[in-house]
Amino acid sequence: MQRVQDEYKYLPEEVMNYIATSLGITPARIFGVASFYSHFALAPKGKYIIKVCDGTACHVKGSRDLYKKLKDILDLGEDESTTKDMLFTVETVSCLGACGLAPVMTVNEEVYGKVDPKKAAEIIESYKEREQQDEQ
């Protein structure tokens, strides 16, 4: 299941059914595992997954404002977490383990510390520029 998620960035229902059939177990059991562990996603995610820490240190230092700013920058509605172009997904996590750098966010495996809303906008812009360069 982890390899499938690494490939698709989520677990498509038809693939979970295939896994269940291949293992001789019910699809409900696979779904149970996938929905229990927060590592697994049941909906498509963007190319760049932004995780905003909302642990105590980050929360106190403004991670909620950072999260809201990211959603504004990316034009995401209240119930949306992934941009329509499938480039970015924004989510909160309980802890990223970098309390001394609060507030912290990651973009895929890249860690950014002491991120304020202005710095967040610059980070997003750098990824958008990177994408434009890759298209050329």
CB atoms within 10 A of CB 134: 7
For residue range 113-122, list pLDDT tens digits in order.
999 999 999 9
**What pLDDT score does 65 carry?**
93
Q: For the chain, give the percent of residues with pLDDT over 90.
A: 83
With cut-offs at 50, 70 and 90, classify the pLDDT of residue 132.
confident
State the burial class of residue 126 (Cβ atoms within 10 Å of its Cβ: 0-12, 13-18, 19+): exposed
For residue range 54-82, list pLDDT tens digits in order.
999 999 999 999 999 999 999 999 899 99
CATH of the domain at 77: 3.40.30.10
The one-letter amino acid code at 89 reads T
> Worst-scoring range by mean pLDDT, 22-36, 37-51, 116-130?
37-51
Specify if 99 maps to a domain. yes
Q: Which two tokens stand for residue 1?
A: 């299941």
Q: Does residue 13 sit in the same domain as residue 53?
A: no
Interatomic CA distance for residues 95 and 85, integer angstroms: 28
**What pLDDT score does 8 carry?**
87
Q: Does residue 64 sit in the same domain as residue 104?
A: yes
What domain range is 23 assigned to?
2-36
Q: Is the pTM of this model over 0.85?
A: no
Specify if 73 maps to a domain. yes
Specify if 78 maps to a domain. yes
Are 103 and 53 in contact, with CB atoms under 8 Å apart? yes
